[in-house]
Amino acid sequence: NLIEVHVSVDELHLIGTLADMPADERTKALRQLVMNLQEKREFSEKNVIKKKKKKGKMGLGELVGALAQEWHCQRVSSLRRYKESLFEFFHSLSLWNKTLKDISGKFGTSVVSYFLFLRWLLLSNVFAAFILFGFITIPQFFDMGPNNASFSGLEILTGTCKQGFFTNTVLYYGFYTNGSVEHAVGVPVYNMQLAYIFTLGIYFVICFFIMLYSMGTSFRNNFITANAYSERISKFLCSWDFNITNEKTIKLKQKILSTQLKELLSEKVHRKQSLTLYQKIKHMLIHVAAWLVSMGSAAACCAGVYYLCDLDLKMFKKSVDLNNLSYEASQLLLPTVVSLINLLLPLFYSFLNVVEKYKHPRRQIYALILRNVFLKMSIIAVLSYYWLQKVALSDIKCWETYVGQELYRLVVTNFVFSLLSTFCGEFLLNKVIQSSVKYNMTKYTHDVKAYIHYCTVSQLILRIGLYFAPLLPIIQIIKYLVIFYVKKVSLMMNCQPSRRAWRAAQMTTVFISLMFFPSFSGAVIILGVTLWKREPSRQCGPFQGLPLVYDAVTIWIHEISSTYRSLGWLVFIYNNFIHSTLFFFILTILALSLVYLHWQIIDGRKIKEDHLRKRITNEAKDKALLLKKLRYHQERQPKVSINPKAN
């Protein structure tokens, strides 16, 4: 009875203390109490009753203050609930949200990472199309004449060469004017040269910061803050949403959690596997041989592509009939060979991966992605050298349009071969496997690594082509939309979940990093050489008649300095910052210093986290040891029997 009285006194004291607190502090205090949820609810109800009794004894001023404080707390909590509901609403409206959940629940994070990356690429192309179409293409509509060229169906694949319907449209660089566009009398003129340069520059600067932010966020979530121990515990104990009432949603959530737990447990199994010294040496020699073979095959393909480029340029110069159908079809030879290399050589790399026998699927995918990226970047490097060294310095009247047509053909043929590989390699193969008695399986697993390099090289071609063909992002949007739905249908009809479950949450970080380097950085280097080192065509395009493309900015700055004195600050910024090598050198040093400082802070937090984890583990061991000793002493104490009749 004394214990019960003491507990009730403590409860009353605690209730009184909570009643005197503000609402936010009271909520935090209730959360920190070591008791179950039912007891916390009882304390909250008793607290409300005491506050009502206390209000009855208050004066008018105190009562008004208490009501104002309670109204403020209710307003803050309702605003927080409104923000959460608004966030959930916009999240539900995100593109392909339901489809991605279905894919994640059935096939795991390794497959859904590819579709998430595809959605990210689609949104980035929508942004590129919006900027380029709004600031470059639409103004050109006010300064364009009729297009009297004939159109042939083959132009959809070839993009035409020298003459044709697409050549005389806003699709290519050579159609844009080099003067100022005047919409109406009294309206300021629109300088197409400055619009072309500044639109591309602003787009690349925004893309740089977007990718930097995406990489940083993904790296922090998947590499820094992600912890194997806490993640397994949180997935097992804290992942279920008790607000779910729909039976279909419950089953989907169960599938997602089951797949994620399998992936986490598979990582633990792979981590425990160990090899002998002989096995390690054997695996190392096999890996070295596979890398040498893959690099040699990539070099041979690059040599063949360069020979075809030289042959294609000679055919272009010697062509007599400019609109000849056979000649236009011959223009598809180079992009077809490049697409075949991009399709067949990754299959050879997949065979090398089978020979190497990687134990962990993530390492296998990383190796295959690196080999494919090296192959694709090598081919793009050969093509870029051919465009900027052979074509740009040749006697072609409008070499930028010629390069734009080459890029258009690469995009279209890459799209066609992607669809053909999906149809022939997935739909038809699945029908053959299902109709064959020889195989026990009915479906094959979705190969993520075979599709990522298509997206990487397509985005690199797009960014290079923004200068030569400003409407390429619209074509890419159509391409990604079709590929997404075709791949989704093929995945659901022809594929089965992988038998080797593995967690691929870090794959998205790798994909975005590949888009930054070498895709984004390679495009910046190629366009930088085009703007600063190559003379534009003298008979077409917005920069005709200039020694270099960048001279348009220099001429504009000189006009501002001599005409508009009020814009002297802009001339000062250009001369001392933008045009200064020292400024960019100092900016680079500061950026590297900040990255290094941030990295050291992260390392310090990791060390502190490890120390705290070890301390918690040691304290748990100490408590277990003390409990063991306490039980031991309790068992050794003699049992005293109390006889109540002795008194």
Phi-psi sector, 160: left (phi>0), alpha (psi -120 to 50), beta: left
- Long-range pairs for 12-16: beta carbons < 8 A, 24 or more residues apart: 14/43, 15/43, 15/46, 15/47, 15/50, 16/50
- Whole-angstrom distance, CA of residue 358 vs CA of residue 350: 12
Q: Are strands 495-496 and 190-191 parallel, antiparallel or unpaired?
A: unpaired
Domain edges within the chain = 1-55, 107-277+373-547, 580-632
**Helix or strand (DSSP H, E) at 496:** strand 495-496
- Whole-angstrom distance, CA of residue 195 vs CA of residue 135: 7
Distance of CA 153 to the CA centre of its chain: 36
Tokens of 106: 């059935």
Q: What is the pLDDT of residue 438?
A: 46
CA trace torsion 483, 485, 486, 487 (10° rounding):
80
- Whole-angstrom distance, CA of residue 135 vs CA of residue 143: 14
- Whole-angstrom distance, CA of residue 17 vs CA of residue 50: 11
Closest CA to 124 of 206, 239, 191: 206
Give the three-class secondary structure for 469.
coil
Q: Which residues pair with 181 in a beta bridge?
A: 190
Angle at CA of residue 278, ends 276 and 282, nearest 5°: 115
- Whole-angstrom distance, CA of residue 507 vs CA of residue 120: 14
Cβ–Cβ < 8 Å for 505, 225: no
Closest CA to 166 of 475, 485, 569: 475
Q: What is the pLDDT of residue 465?
A: 93
CA distances from 419 to 171, 376, 485, 490 (A): 24, 19, 11, 11
Burial class (CB within 10 angstroms; exposed 0-12, middle 13-18, buried 19+) of 339: buried
Largest CA distance in the chain: 129
Closest CA to 314 of 375, 238, 390: 390
**Helix or strand (DSSP H, E) at 97:** helix 97-107
Q: pLDDT tens digits, residue range 452-467? A: 777 878 888 999 999 9
End-to-end CA distance of the chain: 24
Q: What is the mean pLDDT of each run of 10 residues along the chain (647 residues)?
A: 43 62 66 65 60 53 62 70 67 73 74 83 91 91 77 78 73 87 68 92 91 79 57 59 65 70 62 72 89 94 92 75 64 90 87 80 79 90 93 89 92 89 72 54 54 79 93 93 88 70 62 82 92 90 91 88 80 82 85 83 81 85 84 72 47
What type of residue sits at position 459? Q
Cβ–Cβ < 8 Å for 471, 171: yes
Q: What is the pLDDT of residue 623?
A: 85
Sign of CA pseudo-dihedral 545, 549, 554, 558 = positive
Give pTM, 2 decimals.
Answer: 0.76
Sign of CA pseudo-dihedral 282, 283, 288, 294 = positive
